Amino acid sequence: MNISNEQNTAAGQIVDLIAGGTGATREIHPETAIASCANLAGSLLLRSFKFDLTKHAPGTILLSNEANENFPKLVNILAAFLEKSGITLDKSKLGGAASNGGAEPKLKFLQSLELIQGRAIDIAQRNRLNFEEASISATLATAFIVKECTRNIAPEIGFNVAVYSFIEGSKTVPPQLESKDKPWYKLW
């Protein structure tokens, strides 16, 4: 898979967004940072399918063949990044519960996306990325966060949290996007 310079730039900006958006003074809870970033990646992937998400309430499960066929790409990117970074995963510890021995994320799906999705989409737009390309950038950011968090949690825990959150993000209706075009009569 070819990753563009714009996608790499966006990935770095998303890492900074997660560090600033989910933790104070860059001190972050590993599982929360990983889940938030992976939820973002899955959510951006879901948006790339061009479903009319306004027909469903945020938080509604939205099952689709598109998600089933495409979220494994995110998992493969995560695994390849970790392998290239020298992180070896014990396959016997993969799968199962989201945290599988780690702590539960401190933010729920909708909470984390409400904090970061608008700014993440701004990052995608500034880097001229469509939703699918932005999803890959967020996946790279997730992989980087998993790698950095291996000082505090086992890499298998980070991997499991990320995979669960990719699935959750690609199959759950995200919060509605705020319209940047306010009517002329709105002053706030």
Q: Can you give the three-state secondary structure of 122-167, one letter per residue?
A: HHHHHCCCCHHHHHHHHHHHHHHHHHHHCCCCCHHHHHHHHHHHHH
Does some domain include residue 27?
Answer: yes
Structurally, the chain folds into a number of domains equal to: 1
Does some domain include residue 156?
Answer: yes
* pLDDT tens per residue across span 126-145: 999 999 999 999 999 999 99
Question: Is the predicted pLDDT of residue 172 greater than 90, yes or no?
Answer: yes
SS3 call for 25:
coil
Q: What is the mean pLDDT of residues 120-130?
A: 97
pTM score of the predicted model: 0.90
* pLDDT tens per residue across span 21-53: 665 555 679 999 999 999 999 999 999 999 999
- Give the pLDDT confidence score for residue 63 in this predicted structure: 94
Segments forming the whole domain that contains residue 123: 5-170
